[in-house]
A and B are shown apart, each in its own frame.
Chain A
Amino acid sequence: MDAFLMQYIDPYYLRILVLIGINIILALGLNITTGVTGQLSMGHAGFMSLGAYTSAILSLQFAAPFWAALLCGALVAAFFGFLIGIPTLRLEGDYLAMVTIGFAEIVRVFFLNFEPGGKAVGLSGIPQNTTFGIVLLLVIIVIFFNARLLKSRLGRSMYAIRENEIAAEACGVNITRIKVLAFTIGAFLGGLGGALYAHYMFFIRPQDFAFMQSIELLNMVILGGMGSIPGTILGAIILTIAPELLRIVAEYRLLFYGALLVLLMIFRPNGLLGDVRIYDLRKRWMNKEVGA
């Protein structure tokens, strides 16, 4: 599929499309933890890193098939998501953010000193198995399952926890279980995204998954709209493209990038699609018609 597309699309654009796809998967994972369940996680890059290194080592050292490397990467990340989910039962907001930042830093420093992971030099020569076709397929699957989950009984109870924990408990929601579940699913997708990333880039280093990467992913969720699948996808697309478009302004790139975020938050404090629903749109549209 990629070879076919290459005839029509510049490889540079194809690369951006692949990165958008990977970022959508990563951001949708974080959206479940932070956007839907309301548990502020600032260490999503840590899960990404675990997925990337696990899969890369499996591919390089054990010549594991690509799908097995992806799955193992995601599962290892999910396991750590489960572990990190446990302290969240006692912590909220800022405190939880500190724990997740700390976790991601531990992961980074661990790989910085991890012999099979190539220490600070990182791993190179990872087979480039991630193709546009595979990313597209996985994005569709992830969106589909995500939508199913959020519309289900468990998804509703996740939103309920974000809105009011005490009321959720009074409705019989076991908030302990649901929070850990949200962290585990979020981490699973983080690991999957990381594994795809590693097999696209040939080469990974611990600093690819540093604090700024976590913030970047968090920005996608917040910018798009907490808890909204279309919003998160839009956020991932915009924030992947923005740095590329801003290449025109060269060294002022980061400045414009920051300003863009500030402006969006001023005019859309709930994110681009955070509180937009088809129902409201239809209502507004009908009111307009009556008015005219």
Chain B
Amino acid sequence: MFSLHGYGPSILEGTYLTIAISLASLCISMLLGIMGAMAKLSTSKILRIGAKTYTTIIRGVPDLVLMLLVFFGGQVFINQVAPMVGYDEYIDINPFIAGVSTIGLIFGAYMTETFRGGILAVPKGQIEAGQAYGMGRFQVFARIVVPQMIRHAIPGFGNNWLVMVKTTALVSIIGLDDMVRKASLAAGATRLPFTFYAVVAINYLIITSVSVYLLKWLENRYSVGVIKA
């Protein structure tokens, strides 16, 4: 049952793509998460309401619906806008870009909450001490808040990462050749769907288990200065 009929390399290629999509989405989501967290904690009411709307909508709508909206809707949108700026050829949306930007956008909302919690967990006295030393707002943020917030944010961050890796399976629906789609193709050709989907499931388990191990290490590293009870 566990002969892959020569489709092993193809599945492995898909696995690389899954990891690439996850990492690219992680970058976008962290960027959005930091911006979202700062907006949520800012003194400007407009920014706060904007960030709140963003997280509420994203968390209330399924990932698949958002992805289809970006993939199909983005296609229509770009081809409506492009002629206005003088570009007349038909533009195809790259599923990689559609997938990564949607997953990034979704997990940006979750990261916003994680980072907001992390920033709030930094004792106020630390920030005041920084200000007392004459640091500017940016310096306080970069030197005092960020290094300490990472420790508080790692558990939530790790959770988001694990969920995100699994969410990348959805890109197979918009035609990206990740490992789930590679498995579907192989399953169709060999009539061995169980074998190939089981292999993919094991791959996901390996990725998540390695991630858990690395996150544990990271957490210990960032808690070096903390005395445990």
Decide whether A and B assemble into one complex: no
